[in-house]
Amino acid sequence: MKKVVGVINLVDEKNTLSELTNHRSFASVPFAGRYRLIDFSLSNLTNAGVNTVAVFTREKYRSLFDHLGSGREWDLDRHQGGLFFQPPADEERRNSGDIHSFYENLSFFKRSLSHYVLVTNGQLVWNVDFDQIIDEHEAENADITVVYKPCDDPYTSGSHYNVLYTNDDERVDRLNLGVEPLPGDNVFLNTFLMKSSLLISLVEDSIESGKHESINEAIAANLDRYHVHAHHFGGYVTFIDSVESYYRYSMEMLDPNVTQELFYNTGPIYTKVKHESPAKYLESSNVSNSLIANGCTISGTVENSILFRGIRVGKGAVIKNSIIMQKCEIGEGAVIENVILDKDVSVSPNEKVISEDQPRVIAKSTVI
């Protein structure tokens, strides 16, 4: 699809995942045994034929660069279009709103031959048909189409999102930014479509007037001026904004109904390929209701857990209700329960790491 350029906007990411975002961006947090969070939105774009994608970043993007590389796995390593990384050009504005990132990259949009800009973020776990949204946008003759999901998640309590209100024709008449949603409220997924020329105009006007720090503020301030249509996304989507919600959504990946909808009902979800041997289950292993990635060697017991690549579980070790990221070593007789181990953690033989109430995060490269 040559008429759309994609943007994955990571500028307003929040570091709300404790140790998991100490050394990486939110979008590069591992998920579901082999993916990173950004894989979902990036795959959704390329599944819709969007072959020019810019990633707007702010900080801690080294692991993201390493993961995405040239974009080959998403068919974005190409001579025309492709994958573009856009870190902040002005260090003094590193902590400013995303409107400045769009302004710094206006030449990217002006050089593009695309008719539309499709903006999304990098922390949504979902599988959305962007072609359908584009068709609906044109059928409604909208200036801007925003994507929302009714809030039915108890884990959003105490969290702040952008909430939109519509009339009977699904036209947005109010957009409240940074509020705590009530059950049934329409949560704006920070995903929208508009003409490239309109985006350029909104950004230039915002900078000239000094009124808006974010592109969402600019949209909210112009609801009377433009036809802003709301698209209701009815599929599976996550609201990850805490360690607790990350843990809960990760555990949902053990439900075959969820994985069927997320990975098989629409387009494929791509990720960086790691060429490792299949997981090895030794005679003493006992594995149930778990995701085990390639390169693992299992000699102990694993229940209701997610193990990423290259993990070694010693004989007699027990892992329950936990998320173990790549290259961890679990010694013989160790017990891990209700815990998230970041990558390269080593647990000594017979050690016990158990969390009773909330999931506990063990930082990268910790030795226990």
Query: Along the chain (368 residues), what's the average pLDDT of each consecutive run of 10 residues?
Result: 88 88 94 98 97 94 95 95 89 75 94 94 96 96 97 71 95 96 93 98 96 96 98 94 94 97 94 93 98 98 98 98 98 98 98 94 97
Distance in angstroms (rounded) separating the CA atoms of residues 45 and 5: 9
Distance in angstroms (rounded) separating the CA atoms of residues 3 and 116: 6
Residue type at 265? N
- Taking residue 196's Cβ as centre, other Cβ atoms within 10 Å add up to 18
Which residues of the chain are in CATH 2.160.10.10 domains? 280-362
Q: How long a stretch of residues is the chain?
A: 368
Q: CA 257, 31, 182 angle in degrees (round to 5)?
A: 70
Helices vs. strands in the chain: H and E counts, helices first: 9, 26
Q: In the CATH scheme, what is the homologous superfamily, with its name and number, of domain 280-362?
A: Hexapeptide repeat proteins (2.160.10.10)
pLDDT of res. 13: 87
Which residues of the chain are in CATH 3.90.550.10 domains? 4-263
36 contact partners, CB below 8 Å, separation of at least 6 = 27, 28, 29, 30, 64, 67, 271, 272
pLDDT of res. 211: 92
Contact between 177 and 262 (Cβ < 8 Å): no
> Taking Cα atoms as reference points, which of 187, 138, 177, 180 lies closest to residue 160?
180
pLDDT of res. 92: 62
Q: Domain 4-263 is of which CATH architecture?
A: Alpha-Beta Complex (3.90)
C-alpha distances (whole Å) from 187 to each of 86, 169, 180, 238, 346 are: 27, 17, 10, 11, 40
Distance in angstroms (rounded) separating the CA atoms of residues 37 and 241: 12
Q: CA 156, 233, 65 angle in degrees (round to 5)?
A: 75
